[in-house]
Amino acid sequence: MNIPSLTISSVRKGLADRTFSAVELAQEALAFAKAENPKTNAYLTFSDERALAAARAVDAKLAAGEDPGVLAGVPVGVKDVISTRGVRTTCGSKLLEHYIPPYDATAMERLEAAGGVMIGKANCDEFAMGSSNENSAFGPVRNPVALDRVPGGSSGGSAAVVAQGTAVVSLGSDTGGSIRQPASFCGCVGVTPTYGRVSRYGLVAFASSLDHIGPFSRTVADSATVLTAIAGRDSRDATSALHEVQDYAAAMQQPLQGLKIGLPKEYFAGLANETGDRIQAGIEVLKQQGCEIVDVSLPHTEYAIEAYYIICTAEVSANLSRFDGVRFTTRSAKAETLIDMYKNSRGEGFGAEAKRRIMLGAYVLSHGYYDAYYIKAQRVRSLITRDFAQAFEKVDALITPVSPFPAFKLGEKVNDPLQMYLSDIYTITGSLAGIPCMNVPCGTTAEGLPVGMQILTKHFSEDLMFRIAHQYEMSGGFSA
C-alpha cells in the first residue's frame, strides 16, 4: 500500500475490498511515519496503542457488518494543542513536556467516533503562537517540500504530515492564520471554519475569541469530510454554534457558473511578485468556470494586524495564567515562596515568544492603557467585520492571497518578531471576523515552492467555500 497517496475514499475502498484491514493500515502508517519523521520533526509523539485500539474497533465493526464511520481506518495527525486522553499533549512547550490529559477534546472524540485513527501528535509553535514553527521547545519542523525552509506556523507539523504523506488528514488550530499559512507553505488544503463551528472544548486556549480547530488534507473532499465529522454544537463549549452541520462533501458538486467572486483591492496592492502571478492564474481558472470577478474594498484591512496583536495577546496573558506551577506538571526547583513559585515556574517554563506575548498582553490590559489599546482594538475589530459584511452584500465569496511570500528559510525571520507578525497580514482579517476561510494550493514558484490562494465566505457558508475549492481543484487549479 502506498501510504502517501491515500485519501479518505481510497482507504474506504481498501477496507471494503479487504485489500487491507484497519489494523494492517495503522501498523503500516505508523511504521512509515516513524521512518520518515526524522526528515521533518513533524510528529512529537506517536500513539501506537491508541491507534491500534481505534483500528481494531473499526475492524470489529466491519466484521459485524456495522457502519464503521466516514473516517474509518484513516490515519490522522493531531496538533499537539488538542487534548488527547492518555496521550502526551505538550503544546510545543517545555512547561508541558510530561503533561498527559485526563480527557479528550470534543474534536478528537468525534474524529475517533467516526472511525479516524490518530497515529501521532503534530509539532507546533509553543501554545500555537508563531508563524514558522520555530517556537517549538522540541525543535522546528522542516518543510517537506524544501527541507531548509519553514513549514509555516503555528500548525506547521499538521501541515507537514499531510504534505509528507505520513498522515492522510490532520487537525490543526488557527487563531490568526495558523492553519491557512502552513497549508499554503506546504502545498496542501487547510480549512479554518466559522468561529464556533467546531467545539473548542479540549483545545488548549490561546486566544479564546479567535481560536478555531480545522482540518488539513491533500484534497478538498477530504477536508470537507473531516469537517462534517467534527463540527457541531457541543454543550461543553458555550461558544459552539447551534447551526445545523451540512454534508460539505455532498454540497460541492454544483458548478460555479454565475457566482460573483470579489477581489479586495487592499490585498493585491504590492503583490507584484510570483505569489501574485500564481494567484492571478488561479483567478483565471475560476473565471473559466463561469465566475464573475468583481473588485471590492475592505477599507480597514491595514489596521488588522495592530488590532489582532492587541486582542490576541490580551487573551493570551489571561489564558496562560493557569500555567503557574500548581496543576500542570512543571514547577521551578528554585521556589521557596508561593509568588516565587509562580514567577520562576513561568519564567523557566515559557519560551521567548510566549513570554513576549504574555508581556504585551499584560501591558495593553494594564491600568491606564486598557481603553487606549484593548477597547480601541475591539472597536477596530467591529469595523473589519463590518467591511466583510458589506462586501458579502455584493459578492458570494472573496479570493485573496494567504501569505505575501512562499516558505522562507529556517532562521530567516526568527530574530525580528515584528516582521514575523506582519507576515500574517492576509489571514488575520478573516480570523477577526470569524468567517470561514481556507487555503487551496495554486501552483508553485520557479523554485518549486507552493503558493496558496485563500477563499473566504460568509459565516456558516462552508458549503459554498468547499464548492468553489472543489470545482477549482477539479479544473486543474492546484497546479494553476
Partner 1 sequence: MKLTEEQVRYVAGLANLTLTEAEIHQYAHDLSDILTHIDKLNELNTDGVEPMAQVLFAAEETATLREDEPRPCLTNAEALANAPVSGQGYYKVPRVIER
343 is catalytic: no
Cβ(230)–Cβ(190) below 8 Å: no
Three-class SS state of 74: coil
Residue 42 interacting with partner 1 (CB under 8 A):
no
d(CA 454, CA 278): 12
Instruction: Kindly tell me which residue out of 27, 209, 280, 475 binds partner 1, with binding defined by CB under 8 A.
Output: 209
Residue 358 or 480: the one with the smaller Cβ distance to partner 1 is: 358
Residue numbers 416-455 binding partner 1 by CB under 8 A: 417-418, 421, 433-434
Residue 268 interacting with partner 1 (CB under 8 A):
no
Residue 269 interacting with partner 1 (CB under 8 A):
no
Size of the site for partner 1 (CB under 8 A): 75
How would you class 180 by CB atoms within 10 Å of its CB: exposed for 0-12, middle for 13-18, buried for 19 or more? buried
* Least distance between partner 1 and beta carbon 380 (Å): 6
Residue numbers 398-417 binding partner 1 by CB under 8 A: 417
* Least distance between partner 1 and beta carbon 287 (Å): 31
Three-class SS state of 261: strand
Residue 331 interacting with partner 1 (CB under 8 A):
yes
Q: Which of 79, 121, 413, 458 is catalytic?
A: 79
Cβ(228)–Cβ(246) below 8 Å: yes
CB atoms within 10 A of CB 9: 14
Residue 380 interacting with partner 1 (CB under 8 A):
yes
Residue 246 interacting with partner 1 (CB under 8 A):
no
209 is catalytic: no
How is residue 145 written as a grid cell?
Answer: 517540500
Residue 377 interacting with partner 1 (CB under 8 A):
yes
Three-class SS state of 20: coil
Residue 20 interacting with partner 1 (CB under 8 A):
no
Residue 123 interacting with partner 1 (CB under 8 A):
no
Comparing C-alpha atoms, which of 218, 249, 219 is closest to residue 231? 249
d(CA 290, CA 311): 40
Which contacts (CB < 8 Å, 24+ apart) does range 48-53 have?
Answer: 48/119, 50/84, 50/86, 50/87, 50/118, 51/26, 51/75, 51/117, 51/118, 51/119, 52/23, 52/26, 52/27
Residue 88 or 260: the one with the smaller Cβ distance to partner 1 is: 88
Residue 330 interacting with partner 1 (CB under 8 A):
yes
Residue 336 interacting with partner 1 (CB under 8 A):
yes
Piece of the chain touching partner 1 by CB under 8 A; list 34-42, 132-140, 304-312, 449-457:
304-312
Residue 138 or 460: the one with the smaller Cβ distance to partner 1 is: 460
Piece of the chain touching partner 1 by CB under 8 A; list 5-13, 93-101, 110-118, 400-408:
93-101
Q: Which of 154, 155, 158, 403 is catalytic?
A: 154
Residue 292 or 348: the one with the smaller Cβ distance to partner 1 is: 348
154 is catalytic: yes
**φ, ψ dihedrals at 214, nearest 5°:** -160, 170
Residue 344 interacting with partner 1 (CB under 8 A):
yes
d(CA 167, CA 175): 23
Residue 18 interacting with partner 1 (CB under 8 A):
no
* Least distance between partner 1 and beta carbon 443 (Å): 32
DSSP calls for 314-337: HHHHHHGGG-SSSSSS---TT--S
d(CA 362, CA 352): 15
Residue 206 interacting with partner 1 (CB under 8 A):
no
Cβ(453)–Cβ(408) below 8 Å: no
Residue 309 interacting with partner 1 (CB under 8 A):
yes
* Least distance between partner 1 and beta carbon 179 (Å): 16
CB atoms within 10 A of CB 242: 7
Instruction: Kindly tell me which residue out of 97, 335, 404, 444 binds partner 1, with binding defined by CB under 8 A.
Output: 335
Residue 205 interacting with partner 1 (CB under 8 A):
no
d(CA 119, CA 141): 18
* Least distance between partner 1 and beta carbon 203 (Å): 16
Residue 272 interacting with partner 1 (CB under 8 A):
no
Residue 346 interacting with partner 1 (CB under 8 A):
yes
Q: Which of 93, 131, 178, 199 is catalytic?
A: 178
Piece of the chain touching partner 1 by CB under 8 A; list 198-206, 289-297, 334-342, 396-404:
334-342
Residue pointed to by grid coordinates 497549508: 183
Residue 287 or 379: the one with the smaller Cβ distance to partner 1 is: 379
- The b-or-e profile of 391-400 (16+ CB within 10 A means b, else e) is bbeebbbbbb
Residue 2 interacting with partner 1 (CB under 8 A):
no
Q: Annotated active-site positions, please?
A: 79, 154, 178
